[in-house]
Every structure is written in C-alpha cells, then in structure tokens.
Structure 1
Amino acid sequence: MGAVVKPLTREHRSWRTKVFVATWLSYVGFYFCRKPFSAAKAAIQDETGWDATTLANIYAAYLVAYAIGQFIASDMGTRLGPRRNVLLGMALSIGCTLAMGLTLDPWLWAGLIGVNGLAQATGWSGNVGTMAGWFHKHERGRVMGLWSTNFTVGALTSAWVLGWVLSLREFDEPSPWRWCFFAGAMVLAAVWIQYYFFQRNLPEDVGLPAIDDPVTEVDESRVAEPRQVGYMGLSRTSWINLFLVAGFYFFAKFVRYAVWSWATYFLVKNYALSNAEANVYATAFELGGLPGVFITGWLSDRYFKSKRAGVALIMMIGMTAATAALVMFGTSGVW
C-alpha cells in the first residue's frame, strides 16, 4: 500500500521557494569569501615574493580549520539552530576576508584564513539541515541535485568576478589583488541580508504545519526490526557506512582542492596567462561538475530508488579515471 502525501498549501510552496533560494545563494556567497586567496595567489606571490610553500602553508591553515569546523558547526547547529549558525558563519567570513585585504603578514593571514575556515564550515551543514525540514524525503534526490549546483555556481561566478577584478587597472593603490578580498566580502554581505529575511529553519517557525514524511510499509518493517545500539547510539552497520563515506570524501577532497586551489596559479606560472585569463580557464573544473549534480540526483531517484551510494561509486570511478588522464596528458598544453 502506497503512502499518501498531504498536499502542500500555497504558503508552504511560497516559503519553500524562499528558503530554497536563500540557502542556495548563501552557499554561493560563501565561495566569494573562500575563493579570493586561490584566485589571487600568483598576484600575491608577485608582490610579496613568498614562495609556493609559504602560500601552501597559509592555505593549509584554512583546510585544517575547515575540517575541524565541521565538528564545531554540527554542535553549534544543534545549540543555535541552522539560521543563527549560518548567519554567524557568514558574518565571521566577511570580517576575515576584509581583514585579509588589509594586511601582508603571513602569520596573520594564516590566523585569519583559519578563522575563515571555521566560519565557512557552517555553510553546508546549516543549509542542508534547513532544506531537510522543508522537503519530503522522496523529493530530496531531485531537489538536492538542483540545490547542490550552488557549490559549482559559487566556484564559477566567484572565479569569473574575482578574475575580472584582477584585470582592472583602476586600482593602483591598494593593489588589484586586495580588491578580490574586498569584492568577495561585499558579495557575501549582500547575501547575508537576503538570508536574514528569507530563511527559516522549519515551517513551524512561520506558523505552518511540519512537512512530515508518510510512513510506508517498508518503513514500518524497518521500524519493527530490532536495532543494536552501539557507541554514540550508532549501530555497527552505521559506523561502517560512516567510515566508508568519510574515507571516500577524504580522498575526493585531495583531488578537488588540488585542482581548485592551484589551477589558477599553475596556469599563470606555466603558461604565461594573466590572472584574469587563468581564473576563467580554471573554471573548466566547475563547468564539468555542473551537469554532474543534476545527473546524480536524477539517477539516484530514477534508477537507484533514492539509494545514493551506488551513484557515488560510479562518480568516484569516473573521477579516478579523469584524474589519471589529467596526470598523464594535462601538462601538454592549456587545452
């Protein structure tokens, strides 16, 4: 017997649209305060004389803080709720990004970019948590496939905008690269304002009934099964799945951040491209990912019955093959 889904009211649909747009723009906006250092890395080196190791160490502070921030953001999200947590994270990120445009001390930069990493960690968990409260489980494959374009669009638009800023000649003092940080902070500040007005954690926060998932026969059979509860309330199977997903994500991030944070620098230093041109060329990585988020969401709902692991495995195999091809053939030319 199939489950009956209650139809949504007009108010539900209106608020779902607002929440979708607000959270989508939030994660796009976060990229404008995440991307400036990578976009301007070659220009920063030209002015400061810092070697690649120094630049790498500064960005490593961001990555370490971002990883630690995932745990902190999860706890803060429980205490504060997604809305306050994300608003606080965006505000901290704006402040750190502005400050980075005003200094040239590598230790201070490492500290600021580290705090920025902690702040940036609020974005994904907080916004995904918000979306879960507004959409039924059976919708989430398609909806989150569309919603997850935010990180691709964020990476694309931030690279294009910041590359354009680097191409401007009007900014003699301070240096053009500083305006990457100022421009990024201004974009996220505008996003912060719309988020404040249009995001709500749950339908109940605006006086609407909760969006509950109906219980199906499959769900009932699962509920009836005895569950072995282990460490931290998770079963052995849950822990195995957790570590498998964590391991996949850990190694996938090696590839993503190697390309994402160094492609522009590599293109400037090895192919004599301008900073603006290199930022545009580097977006090929994000352009390839844009159809990927649609395809994975559609495949998981259409052929995998909302089971995401099979699709993730297929994509991981494809990523591995593409990375191997990049290593073998990627240095032969820009194209």
Structure 2
Amino acid sequence: MTSATQDNQADMRRWRNRVLFSYAAFYLFVYMGRFNHWPASPVMREQLDFTHVEIGIINACLLWGFAIGDMAHGRIAEAYGYRLLLVTGTLASVALNWVTSFGSSLWAIAIPWGFNGFANATAWSPGIGMLAQWWHRSHRGRVMGFVGVAAGSSMLMMWLVTGWTIAEFGWRAAFRYPPLLMIPAAVALFFLIRDRPSDVGLDEIDQASLGDESESSPPEWAASQTGAESSDHDRSKTVRGGENLSPSEPLTPGSNDGPFTAYRILYSNWRFVATSHVKGLENVVRYGLTTWAPLYYFEEAGLSIETTALVTVALPVGYLTAPMVSGWISDVLLGGRRSPMIAASAIISAIALVGLAIVPAENIYAGAALLFVGAFAMSLSMTSTLVVDIAGPKYAATASGVLDGHGYVYAGAQAIIFALILDTAGTPWQLVFLAMAAVRILSALIAWRVKL
C-alpha cells in the first residue's frame, strides 16, 4: 500500500467520522422544535379548553406536514445538496415555532404547526442520504444505530428541557426558547460537514462490492418498464448480481434522472413498499405512546405536569438505548439481516402494551418500566436501515424520506383515530393500549409473511 493510499484512507476515516458525529450532535437539538408540543399538550388542553380531538388535530397537522416534507426533501437534497437543505429547513422550523406560540385557537396553532412539520422534516432524509455517501453498507446498521441514539437522546433532552420550561414559564415558552438551541447547531453543522467524499477531493465509496442479497431485490421487478421508463431503469442499474438499486455516483442537478425516477423505481419494489407500511404501523405505536402517555398519566393518575414528565421520560430513555444494540446485533451477529430485529421489536413491544392496559395508571413505577420496555423494543426495529440497503446510496435520501413519510401518515392518523375513541367512548385508555398492541402483532405478521 502506497503512502498516498494510506493518506487517502486516513482522510476518509477522519472525514466520515466528522460527518457522522457532527450530524448526530446536530440532531440532539432537532426535537426541541418538533415534538415540544407533546409535554405541553396537557397544559394546553387545560388552559385552552381543548378536547382530545383538538389535541389530536394539532398533532396530526405536525405529523402530516412532516410526511409531506419527508416525501419531497430527500429527492430535492439528492439533486441540490444535503447540507443546504438541512440548515435552511432547521432555521425555518425555529421561526414557525415562534409563530405557533402566539396562537390561542385550534387553527391558529394547528396551521403553523403543520408548516413546521414540513420544515423540520429537512433534518432527517437529507441527513440519511448524506451519511449513505460516506459509509459502506457493512457499517450501515451501526451508523443508523448511532443516529438512532442521537434521535432518542434528542427526545430525552426535549422532554426534560421542555418539561422544565413549561413548569416554570408556561406552555407558550416551550415553542419559543428551547427551539433557539437549533440555530447554533444548524450553523455549526453547515461548516463542519460536506455532502460526499468528492467534495473534499476523496474517492467515492464503492457500494456495489459486497454482493449481498439484502442489497438487492428480484432482478425482474423493474423489467416490465418500457420506453422512457426502461431507460430510467438502465440508468439506475437495477440490481443484478448483488448491486444496489442505484449506482454509487452522486446525483447532481445535471443528472439524466427525471424528478420522479427514484419514486418510480422505489415503488416498483414490493419489499420497499411492504417495509414502508410496516414502518407506518410502527409509528402508530411510537407516536401513539408519545402523544397519549402524558395525557394518560396527567388525567388518569392525577399527576402534576412535573411528575408526568418524570414518569413519561421513560419513553425517550428507551428510544435512545436500543438503536446501537440492534445495529450491532444486525451487522455483526446476523450478518446484515434486518428482519429478525423488526419481528423482535414488534413482539416485545406488544407484550409491554398489554401490560400498560392491565396495570393501573396510579402504579407509576410499573407504568414507567413498561413505557421503557415498549420504547426500547420499538427502537430495535431496523426498517430505516433496510430501505437504505434496498435503495443504495444514490437514492438513500429519497428512500428514507418516503419511508419516513409513510410512517408519519400513519402517525397522524392515529392521533385522530385515538382522539375520537377517547372523546366518544368515555376515555377507554385500556382499549387504546390494546389497539396499539394489536397493531404491533400485525407488523410482526407482515414482516414474517413478506420476509423483510
């Protein structure tokens, strides 16, 4: 190995670690302006006299705005740059948090909060697309696990900081002051990262060298395309013999790919579509718990807002501890297989949800333990890693965005459906938790039947 090659490898290691750690550090602050309404919702409902349905509408607007943003931002970032979209969307999210803080009626809060979901969505799929340019598939489970820890830590920080802010200054302050932390984080990120190795004079990663079946999909899945679609198929090098769905060269504004090529390729892959719906079912529970658990303990156990925050902080603690475990197990022990972790996640979380339905709300220690187990199990799932494996680095941002978009469509739907159940059936909280458990069992059945 020549000295130049050694220097190149050292530079690559330094840069890819810099990009990963910088993005993870930035993500620690993203939830300050995304999910800060969850700890605030019990106080908002009490002071503004909102019903469960109105709280659900506010939540759904955020989640559906995020879904629309996810669907679009990944593809835009692939064409025009990951870090530019990461930073501009974050700054817009801070501004929209402030606009929301002045609302006093349902739609004065829900509408800007929906736009905030769209803006804040830039923090996810462009970031995942960027990481796919720097890290090989053999490390992807651990890389995504590290990002998952950052996301869980972000939720924990938000829960604690926002909970304290609400207790001291009221719910409006939760939309004003914690989100300001996102500004220096976004500015620092812009100067610390680059979109891909070639931006700093390094060679792009050869992502097609593994020949792993899980990187591919059946060779015939796009073979029926003809004409213009067929040429798109040829350009994207639909997987044969272990190659990715897309070539590893970067997509640039001058690329021959059309604006909808990536979507057509992805939606032609039945494994990708099935994984997207499993992700949606996962989010029914992930965001169902974070939406309704604070209200459940605030209302049913009669806890103060401070104690409610302390009990339900078990959720973000569970979310942050599992991803590195699942990533290591998947990459090292399972040889890159993701489906066993998806199935384990569904079964364990279903058991925890049944426990929440049985244990009285007043038993806050058992409740906190079950919330932790449920959240830990939810974060064992590897759907986000699986779709990047399927799509390859070129379309990683689009794939991550479409997957996450599916998830947030389902998450927004649960906010409305469970709110209607709670308001029309006399707040049957046990039924809500049992419904979530049934959804997790359905996820396991789909994963087993489709063999994700």
Same fold judged by TM-score > 0.5?
yes
Question: What is the alpha-carbon distance in structure 1 between the residues aligned to residue 295 and residue 221 of structure 2?
Answer: 51
- Aligned partner of 1:3 in structure 2 is none
Q: Evaluate the alpha carbon distance shift between residue 268 and residue 237 of structure 1 in structure 2; reply closer, same or farther with a 3 A threshold.
A: closer
Judging changes above 3 Å, is the alpha-carbon distance between structure 1 residues 105 and 229 closer, same or farther for their aligned structure 2 residues?
same
Query: Would the alpha carbon gap of residues 237 and 119 (structure 1) be closer, same or farther in structure 2, given more than 3 Å must change?
Result: closer
Q: Distance in 1 between matches of 2:292 and 2:271?
A: 32
- The answer for the alignment partner of 2:87 in structure 1 is 87
Match of 1:247 in 2: 277
Contact 1:229 1:235 in 2 (8 A): no
User: Aligned residue for 2:306?
Assistant: 276
The amino acid that maps onto 1:245 is: T
Does the residue aligned with 2:13 lie in a helix, a strand or coil? helix
Distance of aligned partners of 1:319 and 1:238 in 2 relative to their CA distance in 1, 3 Å threshold: farther
Task: Give the match for residue 123 of structure 1.
Answer: 123
Separation in 2, partners of 1:209, 1:59 = 44
Q: Deviations over 1:181-235 (max 9, x none)?
A: 112221111211111111211121122222334724668xx89x77753467578
Indicate how the Cα distance of structure 1 residues 47 and 242 shifts in structure 2: closer, same or farther if over 3 A, else same: same
What amino acid is aligned across from residue 201 of structure 2 in structure 1? G
Q: Distance in 1 between matches of 2:357 and 2:298?
A: 18
Note closer, same or farther for the CA distance 1:217–1:264 as it changes in structure 2 (3 Å cut): closer
Q: After superposition, where does 1:1-335 map in structure 2 within 5 Å?
A: 9-168=9-168, 171=169, 176-213=170-207, 215-216=209-210, 228-230=222-224, 233=233, 239-329=269-359, 331=361, 333-335=363-365
For residue 215 of structure 1, give the secondary structure of its aligned residue in structure 2.
coil
1:153-206: CA deviations, max 9, x gaps? 1111100011111232xx4xxxx2111111222111121111111121112112
Do 1:264 and 1:282's aligned partners in 2 also have CA atoms closer than 8 Å?
Answer: yes
The residue type paired with residue 285 of structure 1 is L
Alignment check: 8 A CA contact 1:230 1:236 kept = no
TM-score, scaled to structure 2: 0.66
Q: Secondary structure at the match of 1:148?
A: helix
TM-score normalised by length of structure 1: 0.87
Distance of aligned partners of 1:216 and 1:195 in 2 relative to their CA distance in 1, 3 Å threshold = closer
2: CA distance, partners of 1:236 / 1:253? 21
How far 1:133 sits from its partner (Å)? Answer: 1.0
**Partners of 1:149 and 1:179 in 2: how far apart?**
27
Task: Say which SS state the counterpart of residue 175 (structure 2) adopts.
Answer: helix
Any conservation in 2 of the 1:22–1:199 contact (CA below 8 Å)?
yes
Where structure 2 has 5 or more consecutive residues not aligned to the other structure, the ranges are 234-263, 366-452
- Alpha-carbon distance change, 218 to 10 in structure 1, aligned in 2, over 3 angstroms: closer
Percent of paired sites with the same residue = 23
CA distance in 2, matches of 1:217, 1:293: 25
Q: Which amino acid aligns with 2:309?
A: N
Deviates more, 1:180-189 or 1:13-22: 13-22
Amino acid corresponding to residue 204 of structure 2 in structure 1:
A
SS at structure 1 position matched to 2:28: helix
Residues paired across the two proteins, number: 322
Gaps of 5+ in 1: 1-5
Q: Which amino acid in 1 is paired with 2:84?
A: R
**Whole-angstrom distance in 1 between the partners of 2:52 and 2:289:** 15
What is the Cα deviation at residue 274 of structure 1? Answer: 2.2
Aligned partners of 1:83 and 1:200 also within 8 Å: yes
Native 8 Å contact 1:163 1:277 kept in 2? no
AA paired with 1:265? L
Structure 1 CA distance for aligned equivalents of residues 97 and 35 of structure 2 = 10
Task: Encode CA deviations 1:260-284: one digit per residue, 9 max, x unaligned.
Answer: 1222222222223222221222121
**Is the CA contact 1:255–1:323 (under 8 Å) kept in the aligned structure 2?**
no
Q: Which amino acid aligns with 1:101?
A: S
RMSD (CA atoms): 2.6
CA–CA distance in structure 1, aligned partners of residues 20 and 95 of structure 2: 26
Aligned letter for 2:21? V
